[in-house]
Amino acid sequence: MKITQIDVFKYNIPLKAPIAISLGTIENARNLLVRIHADGRVGWGEGSPFWMIVGETQETGFAAARDFAKLLIGQNALDLEGNLNRLDAYLPNNPTIKSAFDMALYDLAAQAAGMPLYAFLGGDRFPLITDETIYLNSPERMAEDAVRIKEKGGLAIKVKLGTNQRDDIRRVEVIREAVGDGIPIRTDANQGWNYVTAVNVLKTIQGWNIEYCEQPVKSWNIADLKRIRTQTTVPIMADESLFSPRDALRLVQEEAVDYFNIKLSKSGGLFNAQKINAIAEAAGIPCMIGCMSESRLAITAKAHFASARRNVTFYDLDAPFEHADDPVVGGVTYNGYEIELPDEPGIGATCDETFLAGMEKLEIR
């Protein structure tokens, strides 16, 4: 199944409004789309280079994609490990653009097998329930968003924190007062606290039905992740500390966290995501499938992965809720917060050609 052509697009999707986390604010989703042609089939992949987390931008990914595409032209599309090893050997790191190539190759492989991706990965289709994220704002505005989510039938609310102790405690307090005690709150500091602030905030809110806290301190600070875990009853989840299978192994060895957040744009794609989950499963660590700012195309691939790995028990797949446009054809459907997968061979999602017509494009043959 010879790769004959690869197209790469600057895949820009406007947001309804800017979204803010402790690391910065983004105005639009500046993603990357990869389309791989092989023996009459087309595989699609998407990466979302959140620069403040992965250290990549759309421009750096677009530049790397040209060289990656040249490496793969003429190769057997079904040689997943060989092709992905070629990319790693040529350019270490750059996981986001690699994840787009990885996704497109898995799409082709599952199509060739005549199986939806979840089945190709060894799983079965079942409904997934995503949370919805509330981004940094005033406590009152965040509480209004929380009420809206509850009224829409949300079963979990993810709350961005990571500014200062007083304001973050107040944010959670006002949200809890607004929605009552029943709905769990998932907190995410995005590395915004130090050890002392993290402990003080989590000790204050730990009785307020807090399901977990993502990445309370800097990504490199594994020692403080471990210390914080001993000081609070709130489970700790690794996000920015977890890119690779090697990171997963270190976090397990250090007994630093309770949960892993797997994101394809961090891991380099499905190939490594499966390794990370296997390490977590062996260590008794449940995982979440998370997102950056991907369209429903990449969200569909993530949902296939989650359906194929029962150790993935949390689902944070709400990125399209923030998008002003939906350029995806096929893919997952949202019934409120329930996600249903397509059953076509491969990922089962493509992108509208009219939308892509206005995008900057590379074409490698």
Task: State the pLDDT at residue 269.
Answer: 98
Query: Is 214 one of the annotated binding-site residues?
Result: yes
* Single-letter residue type at 229: R
Task: State the pLDDT at residue 194.
Answer: 97
Task: State the pLDDT at residue 141.
Answer: 97
Domains and CATH numbers, the chain: 3-114+353-364 (3.30.390.10), 119-350 (3.20.20.120)
Task: State the pLDDT at residue 77.
Answer: 98
Report residues of the chain scoring pLDDT below 70.
none
Task: State the pLDDT at residue 27.
Answer: 87
Eight-state DSSP code of residue 208: S
Three-state DSSP class for 146? helix
Tens digits of residue pLDDT in 164-223 = 999 999 999 999 999 999 999 999 999 999 999 999 999 999 999 999 999 999 999 999
Helix (H) or strand (E) holding 68: helix 58-72
Distance CA 235, CA 316 (A): 17
CA-CA distances (angstroms) from residue 149 to 132, 205, 215, 318?
7, 20, 23, 12
**Hey, which residues are catalytic here?**
160, 263
Query: Is 177 one of the annotated binding-site residues?
Result: no
Nearest to 274 by CA among 237, 311, 318, 315: 311
Q: Please list, in sequence order, all residues whose beta carbon lies within 8 angstroms of the beta carbon of residue 164, skipping any fewer than 6 positions away.
A: 197
Global pTM reads: 0.96
Task: State the pLDDT at residue 229.
Answer: 96
